[in-house]
Amino acid sequence: MSHDPSRQLPPGVSRAQAYEASQDAGINPSSNDTIASVIARRYGRRDVLKGLLAGTALAAAGTGLAAAGNSLPAAAETPSRFHFKEISHGVDRTHHVAEGYDVDVVIRWGDPVSADAPAFDPYNQSAEAQRKQFGYNNDYTAFMPLPLGSNNGNHGLLFVNHEYTNEELMFPGLGRQDTKEAAFAGMTADLVAIEMAAHGLSVVEIQKNPAGKWQVLRGKYNRRIDGIGSLCDVTGPVAGHPRLRTKADPGGRSVIGTLNNCAGGVTPWGTVLSGEENFHGYFWGKLDTESAEARNHKRYGVPDNWYAWGKYVDRFDIAKEPNEPNRFGWVVELDPYDPTATPKKRTALGRFKHEGATVTLAADNRVVVYTGDDERFEYVYRFVSAGRFDPANRAANMNLLDSGTLYVARYNADGSGEWLPLLHGQGPLTVANGFESQADVLIEARRAADLLGATKMDRPEEIEVNPKTGKVYAIMTNNSRRKADQLDAANTRAANEWGQIVEMVPTGNDHAASRFAWSLLLQAGDPNDPKVAGKYHAGTSANGWFACPDNAVFDSQGRFWVGTDQGEAWAKASGTADGIWAVETEGPQRGLSKMFYRNPVGAEICGPTFAPDDRTLFVAVQHPAADGGEKFTQSGKGSTFEDPATRWPDFNEKMPPRPSVIAITKRGGGVLGS
Ligand code: FEO
Ligand code: CA
Ligand code: CA
Ligand code: CA
């Protein structure tokens, strides 16, 4: 996400600076080796700075970085796996896609979800209406075929996360309020309630009509899970723990809402996982420094005062309800096929700022979930279930995520890596270090990982598994705060504004193995600027490179499609609006990248998902107009409801811009990129 907390900041602080600040919310205080010292010991500082990682340091991993180099063949010499004509970098008020493809809006903020939902009227919005309508800032999407268990690419359930809200774009009359006081003054109890209702999840039934266009049906499956009234169960080792108990929930097992749902994953038994990411931003108030939660909240950046919720709703004021933040930051599981199902916060997967939760199976059918903690210098995690997936018994799989082991990754300089278990009583995770039980380890997963010596990464976003090769791709989006003395083999650049993609190969191709080999698939940013040192296949064109990879997806053929989120920094990072690039991961063209789709100004790419037949690519276009649209507003300042950088997708003078899920299809039918 690239939340815009600028309205709550003092005058003169830019929106980009505001987000930069928010990304330091939970500063990692550990002195964990960043590998800098390891690699410096081994290869010497000069070699690190020269980019030795592309050669010696990574050679052990078997696949060196696809750096621009003379030894790699030109693109024309080997056939591409992606057949489309590349589009250009650029930025304007609408979207662009490769020639021969269509972009259609499937559902927008405010569109009816439930059968009794009122029509959208942004001038007379209410929480009651919003609870029945599609939420704001669509992020992760999952396509769940109907019927359950089928591979139907024409009919299914669209599951969508609604990550956060942009008040200045949602509500008329707020304008841009450049101080925290002014922003909170502009918010009322009613507007806060609408915001809370616009968070959470949506499930909508969708079907392709005879013309090949997706339509939303308003049948029995459609539902909203929101941040204001939807109860979620807490399950696993932390359920009922005293640190989760509040006045409203003395049992510590039932939480109102799920918040900041970013990316997610689909389980083999047909449920969806959703990661609660930047939960710290919802809290305000002052915690007693003597409080038992003071150290914990500081490590997660709680409170961060992004919203006025705490002014009207006591549980978001940590002075009144110090345990409420412990009830967020989990992975949530929902069965979209059961419209009465209660979402479950699966605490065995740990508490941190989960970007997503990507599911695969170990060799013995234990369930493996990869999940990144998206903040500067945070970690990459993996969960392995205790029980095994049973393809013949759906009911037996439904609570597999409640017991198992959480691990955190260490990336060694020689291209090897290891998974360090977060197990109470093992190593430093002891009572002496403030962990009374496994519940404490999971609630304070970051501190546990600090003590284990995990590798501090450049903001881990989505992690994807290639269904054809089993290789794992962990996406680091950027880290402008990394300093020259904090470089390591996996995080190679100081003031890294562009990100990199780390490829991980589990030992024996078993996702439960304790070790893996790793290398860099590519280093994002401009490959032609020596100061940036972007590294791709040499055949990558002037439009083929990108900055700040974030959400990505493999199609069923094992082809990689990568989306970007540059936030306010897009002009500096790349000069192009965010988009989707097709990236080769195997063979002589490994590291070759081609631009396929481009967003309207101010929007980031979220939730790319293929229908099972690879004939539709769903994409969540998040916060159109919001990020860095100043050149496109009449005022020359940031976007507001009245003066947005774009009114995509409606282009109606009465309508604000609306976050929307789009469907990209090949005109006349066919597999994308064929
Ligand atoms: Fe919500 Fe890390 O993006
Ligand atoms: Ca992001
Ligand atoms: Ca993201
Ligand atoms: Ca986002």
Model confidence at 175, pLDDT cuts 50, 70, 90, reads confident
CA of 1 to the centre of ligand 2 (A): 4
Please state, in angstroms and as integers, the Cα–Cα distance from residue 496 to each residue in 438, 500, 503, 538, following that order: 35, 9, 18, 21
Model confidence at 184, pLDDT cuts 50, 70, 90, reads confident
Least confident piece of the model among 9-18, 226-235, 308-317 = 9-18
Q: Does pLDDT of 240 surpass 90?
A: yes
Q: What is the pLDDT of residue 111?
A: 98
| Dihedral of alpha carbons 345, 139, 670, 562, sign | negative
CA of 512 to the centre of ligand 1 (A): 26
CA of 541 to the centre of ligand 1 (A): 28
CA of 398 to the centre of ligand 2 (A): 30
Q: What is the pLDDT of residue 24?
A: 58
Question: Is the Cβ atom of 276 under 6 angstroms away from ligand 1?
Answer: no
Rounded mean pLDDT of 107-123?
98
Question: Is the Cβ atom of 378 under 6 angstroms away from ligand 1?
Answer: no
Q: Does pLDDT of 6 surpass 70?
A: no
Please state, in angstroms and as integers, the Cα–Cα distance from residue 544 to each residue in 27, 257, 536, 594, 618, following that order: 34, 40, 9, 4, 21
For ligand 3, a single-atom ion, which residues have Cβ within 5 Å? 550
Least confident piece of the model among 42-56, 370-384, 549-563 = 42-56
CA of 154 to the centre of ligand 2 (A): 30
Q: What is the pLDDT of residue 27?
A: 63
DSSP assignments along 18-85, one per residue? HHHHHTTTT--------SHHHHHHHH-HHHHHHTGGGTHHHHTTSS----S-TTSPPGGGS--S--S-
The atom number, within ligand 1, closest to the CA of 565 reads 3
Which helix (H) or strand (E) is 161 found in, with range? Answer: strand 155-162
Percent of the chain with pLDDT over 70: 89
Q: What is the pLDDT of residue 43?
A: 30
Ligand nearest to the CA of 262: 1
What is the per-residue pLDDT across 329-360, written as a single tens digit (0 to 9) for each? 999 999 999 999 999 999 999 999 999 999 99
Rounded mean pLDDT of 135-159?
98
CA count, 13 A, side-chain hemisphere, 407? 22
The closest residue, in CA terms, to atom 3 on ligand 1 is: 1
Model confidence at 80, pLDDT cuts 50, 70, 90, reads confident
Least confident piece of the model among 46-55, 80-89, 131-140, 439-448 = 46-55
The closest residue, in CA terms, to atom 1 on ligand 1 is: 1
Percent of the chain with pLDDT over 90: 86
The atom number, within ligand 1, closest to the CA of 263 reads 1
Question: Is the Cβ atom of 373 under 6 angstroms away from ligand 1?
Answer: no
Q: Does pLDDT of 392 surpass 80?
A: yes
Question: Is the Cβ atom of 461 under 6 angstroms away from ligand 1?
Answer: yes
Rounded mean pLDDT of 609-623?
98
For ligand 2, a single-atom ion, which residues have Cβ within 5 Å? 477, 550, 565
